[in-house]
Amino acid sequence: MTEPRPDSVVIHYHEIALKGDNRPMFVRRLTDNLRKTVSGLGKIRILTPRGRILLYLDDETPGPILNERLCGVFGIANFSPAYRCSTEPEAIEALVDRLLDSKTFKTFRISARRGDKTYPLTSMELNVRLGRHVQEKTMARVDLENPGVTIHVELLQREALVYFEKLAGPGGLPVGVSGHVLSLISGGIDSPVASYLMMKRGCTVGFVHFHGYPHLTKASLEKAEELVQHLTRHQFRSHLYAVAFGEVQRLIVLSVPPPLRVVLYRRFMHRIAEEIAHRERASALITGENLGQVASQTLENLTVIQEAARLPVLRPLIGFDKEEIIDRAKTIGTYPVSIQPDQDCCRLFIPPHPSVAARLDDVLKAESKLDVHGLVKMGLETVEMREFHV
Ligand code: ATP
Ligand code: MG
């Protein structure tokens, strides 16, 4: 016998993230994000009874697509395709009978939860009553430790929900509750993961990419675009600013000794990114930098690079191992794009051994020979913005 179609989905969020005044804002944002998530999947109603979110599906809603989309919605701890009925114990028993028809199992457990504390039976009493009922109908045994089937029952004020499985959501906070940031995305492995982690902490993320055009191809930009498109599923809409950086680099090279070039490139990237951040109303810059991963990412160099920007520079990967970052990139789905070959602009005109500990004095001296303002302006004049949608 085939399983009946679920008519709803119960969504649970982490209660712990919801202390105090944040709760209504968090739930409202999560609900808004869910509305965008389910768009195009039929007429779905979204309700917010205490402590959870409910989706009422229609007959057309494609379950697998819906589940896949829900797995990308930050703020969801877990979710369950579910079946609704009225709250009388007899109605719940009848629904459970109907649902169990399509299942074979030797052991089971009932897990009842009351969202509505005025319900005449306690959770325990309902567990016992339903347990006895299922035992009589199916001859299966109760096993609380390792049941073949768990029958979850949630009692709300006007209805009961029955479901069997809890699917893991991605956790985190709903995108939009923590403000807006601008991520420097390179096309490599790390910066997409850093951007993802910021979204997971509730930020919306804008993106900026620097390519070496006209001295290199725009291949890295295509990768950045693909990565941004992929990440957009978590926030529904993204902006990517592409900066042609090759000419700025060429002018830096004319007067800056080779060992300092990478650090100077980065300082100019931060300056240009900061101007774009103001346009985007972003309140921090994000990078995929990671302490000691490559010679240029020493504490000394990170400090000197950051000195060029006034906005805070956040580095969500600072404490990660490279293996952890790669694992994350694979789970998130950015890895296959990131490892495609490209022409990274940072490798333009640099020596095999860039400085591992640039001194701010030396850097400022080198920059004093440059028209800093003019170079930033020149970079900004090349900016092209593209908008991405899910
Ligand atoms: P990634 O894997 O993100 O490229 P990485 O380990 O290769 O990082 P670097 O290439 O040194 O490290 O870059 C450090 C950080 O600087 C990147 O994570 C990214 O945030 C930023 N960055 C580097 N190159 C670019 C670029 N071309 N455009 C935008 N941001 C960049
Ligand atoms: Mg890189």
Whether the pLDDT of residue 218 is over 90: the answer is no
Determine the pLDDT at residue 350.
76
What would the pLDDT profile of 274-285 be if each residue is shown by its tens digit?
A: 999 999 999 999
Radius of gyration of the chain (CA): 27
- The residue among 369, 343, 342 whose CA lies nearest residue 260 is 369
Q: Would you say the CB of residue 288 lies under 6 angstroms from ligand 1?
A: yes
Would you place residue 24 in the very low, low, confident or very high pLDDT band (cuts 50, 70, 90)? confident
H helices of the chain, where?
22-37, 63-70, 89-100, 123-138, 190-200, 219-231, 246-255, 261-280, 299-306, 322-332, 335-338, 360-368, 372-381
What would the pLDDT profile of 58-101 be if each residue is shown by its tens digit?
A: 999 999 999 999 999 999 999 999 999 999 999 999 999 999 99
379 CA → ligand 2 middle, Å: 20
> What number of CA atoms fall less than 13 Å from residue 327's CA on the CB side?
6
DSSP 191-204: HHHHHHHHHHBT-E
Ordered by where they begin, the domains of the chain are: 8-168 (3.30.2130.30), 180-389 (3.40.50.620)
Q: Which residues contact 207 (CB under 8 A, 6 or more apart)?
A: 182, 183, 185, 195, 224, 228, 238, 239, 240, 241
Residue to mutate (ligand 1; options 181, 183, 190; most atoms within 8 A of CB): 190
- How far is residue 215's CA from residue 386's CA, in Å, rounded to a whole number? 22
Residue with tokens 């709250």: 87
- How far is residue 18's CA from residue 10's CA, in Å, rounded to a whole number? 18
Nearest CA to ligand 1 atom 26: 186
User: Do 193 and 183 touch, CB atoms closer than 8 A?
Assistant: no
Residue 153 vs residues 85, 111, 123, 167, 375: alpha-carbon distances, Å? 10, 6, 9, 16, 64
Q: Would you say the CB of residue 210 lies under 6 angstroms from ligand 1?
A: yes
Tell me whether the omega of the peptide bond preceding residue 214 falls within 30 degrees of 0, making it cis.
yes
User: How much is the pTM?
Assistant: 0.94
Nearest CA to ligand 1 atom 20: 287
**12 φ, ψ (degrees, to nearest 5):** -110, 140
